[in-house]
Amino acid sequence: MKLFTYFRSTAAYRVRIALNLKGLPAELLPVNLVEKKHTEAAYTDLNPQGLVPALMLESGEVMNQSMSILEYLDEQYPLPPLLPTGPLERAEVRSFAYEIACDMHPLNNLRVLKYLENDLGVGAQDKQTWYEHWIATGFTALEQRLELRKPPQQGSFCFGNTATIADCLLIPQVYNALRFNCDMQPYPLINAINEHCLSLNAFEAARPENQADA
């Protein structure tokens, strides 16, 4: 498999973690977002949406959207599982992931920050406040969710003692928050999970600073 990636893309970071957790080898092909390589035909012919990541299978088929890729990997390569087996537990893990994928990340990604700056003339301080606002709104709700966990969901990962797609989403989002100097002090449970995950090879190897294109 080949993963079209960019070292700082949190959506690509999610997939890098999942591939590592599954022990799946993939060739990483950097798409430089700053040089706008994602808008060039060489890439948009493969992924019309022009965002990273995209996964090319051995068959040559290309799929986009990190959440789709995570679900695909878990269906095709079930071990170790990234979703629990119980229907309610699956919904809980997915909801945690979607709160990041749908309600945090999209508001703070590069194209939106550029729109605020270039099209709406939003200044640096207001842009920072915008960024921090969506991080705080999202992480406050997620920290509260983590506080409400009961055994066996309490553990070193978001849900118990096994990594799930929730962790694949959380760790890159924390990276983003720290990169933009957001205050992470109000979220001790998130911080503990982040620290634990980054002590593991699968997460460590996926870190932006450990990518060839960093």
Give me the residues that bind a second copy (CB under 8 A), please: 48-51, 57, 61, 63-65, 67-69, 71-72, 75-76, 87-88, 90-92, 94-95, 98-99, 101-103, 105-107, 112, 115-116, 119-120, 122, 126, 129-130, 133, 141, 144-145, 148
Partners of residue 56 on adjacent β-strands: 2, 62
- Closer residue to a second copy in complex, CB, 147/195: 147
- Cα distance between residue 62 and residue 41, in whole Å: 15
Closest separation in Å from C-beta 202 to a second copy: 22
Angle between helix 165-179 and 87-101 (nearest 10): 20
Closest separation in Å from C-beta 201 to a second copy: 27
Virtual torsion, Cα 26, 191, 32, 40, nearest 10 deg: 90
Closest separation in Å from C-beta 21 to a second copy: 18
- Cα distance between residue 118 and residue 101, in whole Å: 24
Closest separation in Å from C-beta 63 to a second copy: 5
